[in-house]
Chains A and B, each alone.
Chain A
């Protein structure tokens, strides 16, 4: 339960750290780290405007999306604390649950009957479809390494005692980092700050949302970042570490993760929309590399 509280807390300052990193690298004074929290509070307080075209789907979709992300957070273990909900094969449930949330966001975008939002919906659907195999292969390699099928035990067997294991750790981190960037529509796949609807992906999909609903969507996005950084930190936490070190690693990874996102956003241009497909498909060979690396480790062990 502690970890869940920490996830909620970190999710609130995560975008603030990204913004702060960006402001420092570009030499601006920049907003406070707590600014996204103020934004969320402001949004939660606002009144709402709904389009006349929309139906109940539009009003329910953010609820489903947010709940799916919360539920996914409940299913993640941390160090040797087991997850609140955990069973054999839970990672399949985890991936499909996030898919459920996304399904609702996509149809909600189509619910507004706006060309912009249809465009965003189509892109979001395509990219999440392309990235799904990579994530599956990554988790399958972890399953193979640990010999089990549940998140809880996935991370126990990856010990960094050989150069190969370090190689796998680095690749997996890179992969999760990119999946997180894509799922949260950050650079280089999408630019959350652009104001040209024709080139946006996620932001244009939620164009008609405001107030409470928009706050839910944004918070769910921040939470997703923390979920991925928790996955990364689990890679590096061995169960033999003392309690305080595990917490420290998690918090540090999250901070580093945010700073890395900020750096990428400061120094990289975004992909052309057409080349996004290729950039995403490249993640699949990387995940296959991880798979083969894990197989090599296994052969070494036996």
Chain B
């Protein structure tokens, strides 16, 4: 509490001290919240604290259960890395004034504490207030480079969409209060026990879905992430969108009936999010926008896990339920680790090259070897490849599908099969996308002059990233350690699952074993190769170019050409427009030409633009009263007064 008040001091801090003051506050808060969440999660010693002031006439409690503790830990890990990373990264913005920097740090810290406090609030109105604080502070963070018009647009887009989300949440909360006369989240289960579940669930799902970025509520993500500074994108993509998932989980854990319908719905939306997220990511040229679309994909994977879990509860197949929820929850953690790493290394690339256009990059592995290594490991784990952490969560979800296929009734078998095809397709597309991202950005020849001045970023930036990297490897190689706290979270929140363990616990140790054996095989093959090369002559030559010795960097494959055979035949689904004048048959000496391709979100074009146009037209009708004449404006209160008097006289009010 005191720490939050201290953050007001940002205003008066001199510029040089600002970053360190931010670090100090963040660390203090981090230490306190981690202490309590570890206590809650591992020692089952729940944390309760009554705030020293009254809120709307009620006492305001901060209370932490295992689910909150799990999310607090995730928030803390990413914030820790992000705050240290920002020290170096923000040095790029020398032209910013002291006030702008102060606002930035203030918003950063506000975003952090609001996320942590959010997970601990039981009171719905207080939740909504902190939710707004979180949205507003992240809005200021996105608007850091407000002098760019793209940033302004992205920020305002984000701002409006977040308020749509808040509107849905407000409706949900008011409905909840109306029927149960309570301003507490615990009223959810009372409501769900007495009334239809699906309607209120949909309202909350829409509200939280905006934040999480489920399709079709995802359109702010690909604009906001490229606009924001990288440590902010990492924080937003790594943890802030997960609070949408947190909200959905809170609602899901309270559900009483209609489970089948809700489960199918969540599963369907998640599959669409997953496939369209990664499908669109492949055609992006902006590295950070590509990563933003991958956030949508990964939210989809988390949602698939949750959907499978709900279906498992609906058919009372406890093994299926626990596999689904465990996979979803673990993927929340995993995604926060590798996605923030990807944003950090993309930020390092931007810091060094000042471009985000993938087609301008190339060959960075020689100039920035450590960043390239970090990006590679994070890409491998986002593709769900063993022995990294992404595999473990997808392993649970796949096992859930198989469980459903083996044990459930025929219709559910088919649903699970369909979802299995979807997840397999997502995995394949992710490999396609990240071979492109890593290969074009870091490998090959340098495609533009931007690359020439790049060098490795400082150790201050790299060391915190190694912390996340270590966790990725730890979860990948020793998954059995991480599973117990996750099972505890599920056991506490879903009573009927409280005694169920994962049906394939012993498989996890075997995965560690298999990962170890694989590493041994790799090392021994490498040693054999080393040994064989002792007597060999190794030469360095140019890449074989079919006897062509021209402009090597320009003849390389680019991101666009790599994706070309994927795009072929899908231009309309992906909504890609190309600007190119084809060479005519009679044109024997073709002139200089440009090729430009551009992808616009289908949802934005087909869904949001008509919707906003409709609203505009609707509000234009109301604009009739806005005449611009002072006399009219004086008339309006007068009319209102007369109406009020009439109404009072006739005893209506």
Binding site for B on A (CB under 8 A): 44, 46-57, 60, 63-64, 66-68, 70-71, 74-75, 85-90, 92-93, 96-97, 99-100, 102-103, 106-107, 109-119, 121-123, 125-126, 128-130, 132-133, 136-137, 140, 143-144, 147-149, 197, 207-208, 211-213, 216, 274, 277, 284, 288, 291, 295
The answer to whether B541 has its CB under 8 Å from any CB of chain A is yes
The answer to whether B460 has its CB under 8 Å from any CB of chain A is no
Kindly state the separation between the CA atoms of A103 and B424 in the bound complex, as whole angstroms. Answer: 15
Set A53, A86, A140: member contacting B552, Cβ < 8 A? A53
B410 and A48 within 8 A (CB):
no
Kindly state the separation between the CA atoms of A56 and B529 in the bound complex, as whole angstroms. Answer: 14
B524 CB, nearest partner CB in chain A, Å: 8
A-B contact pairs, 25 of them (CB 8 A): A48-B533, A49-B541, A52-B541, A63-B525, A71-B517, A71-B518, A85-B514, A85-B517, A89-B395, A99-B431, A103-B434, A109-B439, A110-B440, A113-B443, A113-B553, A114-B544, A115-B557, A116-B546, A117-B557, A118-B562, A129-B431, A137-B420, A147-B406, A211-B536, A288-B417
B518 and A55 within 8 A (CB):
no
A55 and B443 within 8 A (CB):
yes
* Known A89-B399, A126-B432; contact A132-B443, beta-carbon cutoff 8 A: no
Set A97, A102, A113, A213: member contacting B445, Cβ < 8 A? A113
A125 and B504 within 8 A (CB):
no
A89 CB, nearest partner CB in chain B, Å: 5
Instruction: Scan residues 368-404 of chain B and give those whose CB is less than 8 A from a CB of chain A.
Output: 369, 372, 376, 380, 383-386, 391, 394-395, 398-399, 401-403
The answer to whether B584 has its CB under 8 Å from any CB of chain A is no
Kindly state the separation between the CA atoms of A89 and B384 in the bound complex, as whole angstroms. Answer: 15
Q: How large is the interface on B (under 10, 10 to 19, 20 to 34, 35 or more residues)?
A: 35 or more
B529 CB, nearest partner CB in chain A, Å: 6
Instruction: List, in ascending order, chain A residues with CB within 8 A of B569's CB.
Output: 277
Instruction: List, in ascending order, chain B residues with CB within 8 A of A122's CB.
Output: 557, 561-566
A121 and B562 within 8 A (CB):
yes
B511 and A93 within 8 A (CB):
yes
Kindly state the separation between the CA atoms of A87 and B507 in the bound complex, as whole angstroms. Answer: 5
Nearest opposing residue in chain A for B540, CB measure = A52
Kindly state the separation between the CA atoms of A298 and B518 in the bound complex, as whole angstroms. Answer: 36
A48 and B539 within 8 A (CB):
yes
* Known A67-B521, A113-B444, A126-B566; contact A212-B536, beta-carbon cutoff 8 A: yes
A44 and B552 within 8 A (CB):
no
Set A70, A75, A121, A133: member contacting B425, Cβ < 8 A? A133
A47 and B536 within 8 A (CB):
yes
A129 and B444 within 8 A (CB):
no
Most buried by A among B406, B533, B561: B406
Please provide the 3 A-B residue pairs with the shortest distance between their CB atoms, ordered closest to farther: A118-B557, A110-B439, A129-B428
Nearest opposing residue in chain A for B524, CB measure = A67
Kindly state the separation between the CA atoms of A277 and B539 in the bound complex, as whole angstroms. Answer: 39
The answer to whether B526 has its CB under 8 Å from any CB of chain A is yes
Main secondary structure of the interface of B (DSSP, over half): helix
A122 CB, nearest partner CB in chain B, Å: 5
B518 and A97 within 8 A (CB):
yes
Kindly state the separation between the CA atoms of A71 and B523 in the bound complex, as whole angstroms. Answer: 13
Kindly state the separation between the CA atoms of A130 and B429 in the bound complex, as whole angstroms. Answer: 9
Instruction: List, in ascending order, chain A residues with CB within 8 A of B555's CB.
Output: 115
B544 and A47 within 8 A (CB):
no
A140 and B402 within 8 A (CB):
yes
Set B363, B380, B436: member contacting A113, Cβ < 8 A? B363
Instruction: Scan residues 488-543 of chain B and give those whose CB is less than 8 A from a CB of chain A.
Output: 503-504, 506-507, 510-511, 513-514, 517-518, 521-522, 525-526, 529, 532-533, 536-543
Instruction: List, in ascending order, chain A residues with CB within 8 A of B365's CB.
Output: 55-57, 111
Set B372, B405, B522, B539: member contacting A64, Cβ < 8 A? B522
Nearest opposing residue in chain B for A148, CB measure = B406
B444 and A149 within 8 A (CB):
no
The answer to whether B362 has its CB under 8 Å from any CB of chain A is yes
Nearest opposing residue in chain B for A113, CB measure = B444
The answer to whether B582 has its CB under 8 Å from any CB of chain A is no
A63 and B417 within 8 A (CB):
no
Set A50, A92, A133: member contacting B421, Cβ < 8 A? A133
Set A48, A56, A75, A295: member contacting B538, Cβ < 8 A? A48
Instruction: List, in ascending order, chain B residues with CB within 8 A of A64's CB.
Output: 522
Nearest opposing residue in chain A for B444, CB measure = A113
B487 CB, nearest partner CB in chain A, Å: 17
B421 and A136 within 8 A (CB):
yes
Instruction: List, in ascending order, chain B residues with CB within 8 A of A68's CB.
Output: 518
A92 and B399 within 8 A (CB):
yes
Q: How many residue-residue contacts, CB under 8 A, span A and B?
A: 248
Most buried by B among A75, A110, A216, A274: A110
A121 and B525 within 8 A (CB):
no
B428 and A47 within 8 A (CB):
no
B556 and A143 within 8 A (CB):
no
B604 CB, nearest partner CB in chain A, Å: 26
B439 and A107 within 8 A (CB):
yes
* Known A53-B363, A110-B444, A143-B406; contact A47-B543, beta-carbon cutoff 8 A: no
B565 and A123 within 8 A (CB):
yes
B413 and A295 within 8 A (CB):
yes
Instruction: List, in ascending order, chain B residues with CB within 8 A of A115's CB.
Output: 545, 555-557
A208 and B431 within 8 A (CB):
no
The answer to whether B250 has its CB under 8 Å from any CB of chain A is no
* Known A53-B552, A63-B525, A295-B413; contact A87-B363, beta-carbon cutoff 8 A: no
B365 CB, nearest partner CB in chain A, Å: 5
Kindly state the separation between the CA atoms of A177 and B544 in the bound complex, as whole angstroms. Answer: 34
The digit string for B6-21, where 1 denotes a CB below 8 A from any CB of A, is 0000000000000000
* Known A85-B513, A295-B410; contact A125-B443, beta-carbon cutoff 8 A: no
Instruction: List, in ascending order, chain A residues with CB within 8 A of B568's CB.
Output: 274
The answer to whether B161 has its CB under 8 Å from any CB of chain A is no
Instruction: List, in ascending order, chain B residues with CB within 8 A of A129's CB.
Output: 425, 428-429, 431-432
Instruction: List, in ascending order, chain A residues with CB within 8 A of B421's CB.
Output: 133, 136-137, 284
Kindly state the separation between the CA atoms of A50 and B503 in the bound complex, as whole angstroms. Answer: 49
A89 and B507 within 8 A (CB):
yes
A113 and B362 within 8 A (CB):
yes
Kindly state the separation between the CA atoms of A92 and B424 in the bound complex, as whole angstroms. Answer: 10
A107 and B443 within 8 A (CB):
yes
B501 CB, nearest partner CB in chain A, Å: 13
Kindly state the separation between the CA atoms of A125 and B432 in the bound complex, as whole angstroms. Answer: 5
Instruction: List, in ascending order, chain B residues with CB within 8 A of A46's CB.
Output: 536
Kindly state the separation between the CA atoms of A111 and B362 in the bound complex, as whole angstroms. Answer: 9
Kindly state the separation between the CA atoms of A87 and B508 in the bound complex, as whole angstroms. Answer: 9
Known contacts A63-B526, A89-B507, A118-B557, then 16 further A-B pairs from the complex at CB < 8 Å, ordered by chain A residue: A44-B532, A48-B533, A49-B541, A52-B540, A52-B541, A87-B511, A87-B514, A96-B385, A114-B543, A119-B557, A119-B561, A125-B431, A136-B421, A140-B402, A143-B405, A211-B536
Instruction: Scan residues 205-231 of chain B and give those whose CB is less than 8 A from a CB of chain A.
Output: none
B383 and A99 within 8 A (CB):
yes
B399 and A149 within 8 A (CB):
yes
Kindly state the separation between the CA atoms of A288 and B421 in the bound complex, as whole angstroms. Answer: 10
Nearest opposing residue in chain B for A141, CB measure = B405
Kindly state the separation between the CA atoms of A197 and B545 in the bound complex, as whole angstroms. Answer: 11
Nearest opposing residue in chain A for B532, CB measure = A212
B543 and A67 within 8 A (CB):
no
A113 and B438 within 8 A (CB):
no
A151 CB, nearest partner CB in chain B, Å: 12
The answer to whether B575 has its CB under 8 Å from any CB of chain A is no
* Known A64-B522, A67-B522, A113-B362; contact A132-B543, beta-carbon cutoff 8 A: no
A67 and B518 within 8 A (CB):
yes
